Amino acid sequence: MQHTETVEIRGHLIDSGTFARILDDVLEYSGDYRIDQLDVGRTHTDESYVKLTIGSDDHEQLERIIMRLQTHGANMIDPGRATLRPAPRDGVFPEDFYSTTNLETRIRLDAGWMRVANPEMDCGIVVDDEGARTIPVADIREGEMVVCGANGIKVTPLRAPVRTDPNEATFEFMSSDVSSEKPQALLVRQVAQRMRDVKAAGKKILWVGGPAIVHTGAAPALVALVEDGYVDVLFAGNALATHDIESALFGTSLGVDLDKGHGVPHGHEHHIRAINRIRACGSIAEAVSQGVLRSGVMHSLVRHDKEFVLVGSVRDDGPLPDVYTDVIEGQRAMRNALKDVGFAIMVATMLHSIATGNMLPASIPLVSVDINPATVTKLADRGSAQATGVITDIGLFCEQLAAELVVGYKRD
């Protein structure tokens, strides 16, 4: 092992499994390690400290390992200073750019340490007169200065909640696994309490939703939650908005007659007619103000001045006039809407959940609710470690959440 670097980390390393993952990652990246120091907390409330020397035969590989360990909160003992290199072209980073985590990050330049704004994974870090901030590769411009290599960077790991009282219930009801075999009524109450806390703290609640919200009959519950202030921002695609509007205009949603509970199979023309009618109005807000759209989730968001960002996909019909058809522009609009968000709930959508998970800092807790375990698992697999999952029925979940949060909520 010709190349070595020493890293350190402090925290609840043993019982959280962090230490095991660090050692595992070093081997997976074809490196090796030597444990230089290990001070273990003697009881479960004490923090531990580890100092590790990492070795690799290849300098570039070593840099990759160091970057990798930073995702667990391990930093170099002597990080040195950050290297800056200009972007060679619009939309292209320097070859050895530092790829970001979604953790709090600082970089050291000559002037000392500075905080990197907007932690987001898989980005670069650009530095200019206004400071350092993450930037997606599509948005970098030729000549902007980008942090390269692993030097001069420190990340702050998420502080895992310490269970001081083993009998205390924490919010991390699913930290260890994802399962449909959980006491669901309790989960609903925990999510409701978290929402109350977030509102009390003056933060926003972000919902990310798929069309099953409408199909499962959850729209009235979601409307009640909008009206009571528990939905500040909605991220969705063309489908949720279209089915909601189709339901408002025609009483159907892709073939499900919601009042009677039996389907109108392949009632496609309602779907495309609903889109056409809103396109004729010019926008969803215009359709509301013209009296064309008089109920449903989108109507309620417009009426209560709540923000929504609809981003299109290749399978869209239409789409609705409010939909971003360029997905990169859509991502920018989503990033702009994340300000002050303190909690994210993702319901019945794999595509938009992963998209949102990709851009959320690790410090914002998120709950993913889906009847399909794969959605929740994929979200966690892709690096949204703060994600907790609830495998349940969307319709009944939203119904009970509204009953918990909205005084007097009772669906007719």
Which residues in the 353-392 window bind its own copies by CB under 8 A?
Answer: 354-355, 358, 371-372, 374, 381-383, 391-392
Using rule CB under 8 A, residue 109 touches its own copies:
no
Closest CA to 388 of 205, 185, 173: 173
Using rule CB under 8 A, residue 19 touches its own copies:
yes
Number of residues located near its own copies, criterion CB under 8 A:
126
What CA–CA distance (Å, rounded) separates 133 from 106? 10
Q: What are phi and psi of 211, to 5 degrees?
A: -65, -20
In the complex, what is the shortest distance from the CB of residue 355 to its own copies, in angstroms, rounded to a whole number?
A: 4
In the complex, what is the shortest distance from the CB of residue 177 to its own copies, in angstroms, rounded to a whole number?
A: 7
**Interface with its own copies by CB under 8 A: which range of 126-134, 198-206, 267-275, 338-346?**
267-275
Using rule CB under 8 A, residue 47 touches its own copies:
no
Using rule CB under 8 A, residue 244 touches its own copies:
no
In the complex, what is the shortest distance from the CB of residue 78 to its own copies, in angstroms, rounded to a whole number?
A: 21
Pick between residue 36 and residue 340 the one whose CB is nearest to its own copies. 36
CA distances from 393 to 41, 90, 123, 236, 410 (A): 42, 45, 35, 19, 18
Using rule CB under 8 A, residue 269 touches its own copies:
yes
Are the C-beta atoms of 239 and 211 separated by less than 8 Å?
A: yes
Q: Is 260 helix (H, G, I), strand (E, B) or coil?
A: coil
**Interface with its own copies by CB under 8 A: which range of 37-45, 77-85, 191-199, 339-347?**
37-45
Pick between residue 203 and residue 316 the one whose CB is nearest to its own copies. 316
Using rule CB under 8 A, residue 136 touches its own copies:
yes
In the complex, what is the shortest distance from the CB of residue 106 to its own copies, in angstroms, rounded to a whole number?
A: 19
- Residue 359: enclosing H or E segment and its boundaries? helix 350-359
Using rule CB under 8 A, residue 233 touches its own copies:
no
**Interface with its own copies by CB under 8 A: which range of 106-114, 127-135, 196-204, 320-328?**
320-328
What CA–CA distance (Å, rounded) separates 237 from 352? 7
In the complex, what is the shortest distance from the CB of residue 258 to its own copies, in angstroms, rounded to a whole number?
A: 5
Amino acid at 330: G
**Interface with its own copies by CB under 8 A: which range of 126-134, 286-294, 328-336, 360-368?**
328-336
Pick between residue 38 and residue 77 the one whose CB is nearest to its own copies. 38
Closest CA to 13 of 66, 52, 56, 64: 52
CA distances from 389 to 174, 300, 395 (A): 6, 27, 16
Q: Cα Rg for the chain, rounded, in angstroms?
A: 24
In the complex, what is the shortest distance from the CB of residue 97 to its own copies, in angstroms, rounded to a whole number?
A: 7
Pinpoint the alpha helices (H) of 201-267.
212-215, 219-227, 238-250
Closest CA to 367 of 190, 121, 226, 170: 190
Q: Is 368 helix (H, G, I), strand (E, B) or coil?
A: strand
Pick between residue 16 and residue 363 the one whose CB is nearest to its own copies. 16
Per-residue tokens: 183: 């006491």
Contact positions with its own copies (CB under 8 A) in 79-108: 88-89, 91-93, 95, 97, 99
Contact positions with its own copies (CB under 8 A) in 141-200: 163, 166-167, 169-170, 172-173, 175-177, 179-188, 190
Print the binding letters for residues 282-311 with its own copies: x by CB under 8 A, - otherwise: -----------------------------x
State how beta strands 124-128 and 233-236 pair: unpaired
State how beta strands 252-253 and 256-257 pair: antiparallel
In the complex, what is the shortest distance from the CB of residue 288 to its own copies, in angstroms, rounded to a whole number?
A: 18
* Sole binder of its own copies in the list 80, 115, 141, 276 (CB under 8 A): 276
State how beta strands 341-347 and 204-209 pair: parallel
How deeply is 102 buried, as exposed, middle or buried, from its count of CB atoms within 10 A (0-12, 13-18, 19+)?
Answer: buried
